[in-house]
Amino acid sequence: MAPFQGELTVGSGVDARQVAFLRREGEGPEIFFLGGFMSDMRGAKAEALDAFAERTGRAMIRFDYSGHGQSGGNVEDGTISRWLEEAATVLGDVAKGPQILVGSSMGGWIAVLLALADARAQGGRIAGLVLLAPAIDMTQDLILPHMSAEARAELETTGRWRLPSAYSERPYVITKRLIEDGKRHLLGGGPIAIGAPVHIIQGVLDEEVPWSHAVDLVSHLAQDDVVLTLIKDAGHRLSRPEDLDKMLSAVATIA
């Protein structure tokens, strides 16, 4: 049976945007998928998770950030704050019961932010996290250090920088607004206490999120049960059948 497709309005006034989601009914803990920057809820990892949920009778939810996939809005208006608000709204209004947060790349950062917010509120909804090449603090640690002087000048002058992408014919547009807003959500300065098990899957050949970045994240998750799986021949996408199998196994162990 196909998952239910719906839309939510997030924000109000000029900040209002329509966020599309897909939800499959089933048993819990529910799988909540958070995609990466410039990806969508119908990518290989999301589809593999949905097929797994259908086979095993599990509930699952996935959505598109504003400016991505089937959701409304312009990606250049996007910030970590806006996309986090959208994720939190879907979690609060659509998701049911305990959640396994599966975050890919930027979605890994947002998943950790969601889990920390739940821990602070003592919500008890997060059963565990599966993080795929998590781009924690990506605006500060992964984008800015790789910008040339010319790129930084373009960002300051025009408010945007066009980053060539290995995954799209069109460059990714990095905005000054995205970079500045990211400072509000940086996690690298101290311990991260989620209160739930975490499984990180990371490719050693990843050029976007170095494997050392995942090792550093483990050091900050000192209070939680953490498993780090390094795949020596994998890059950033982690979408090969063998990579997807590792993701599904990690989800199954949390359940």
Clarify whether 39 is annotated catalytic: no
Catalytic residue among 105, 137, 141, 220: 105
**Which candidate in 137, 206, 224, 243 is catalytic?**
206
pLDDT for residue 57: 97
Question: Left (φ > 0), alpha (ψ -120 to 50) or beta: where does 129 sit?
Answer: beta
Q: Which fold has domain 4-138+188-254?
A: Rossmann fold (3.40.50)
Residue 74: name the closest of 5, 153, 175 by CA.
175
Active site residue 105: yes
Catalytic, 236? Answer: yes
The confidence score (pLDDT) of residue 24 equals 98
Ordered by start, the domain boundaries in the chain are 4-138+188-254
- Percent above pLDDT 70 for the chain: 100
C-alpha torsion sign, points 141, 130, 212, 221? positive
The pLDDT of 28-52, averaged and rounded, is: 97
Write down the catalytic residue from 68, 185, 220, 236: 236
Q: Judge whether residue 255 has pLDDT over 80.
A: no
The secondary structure element, H or E, covering residue 206 is none
Which pLDDT tens digit goes with each residue over 90-108? 999 999 999 999 999 999 9
Nearest to 209 by CA among 197, 198, 200: 200
pTM for this model (two decimals): 0.96
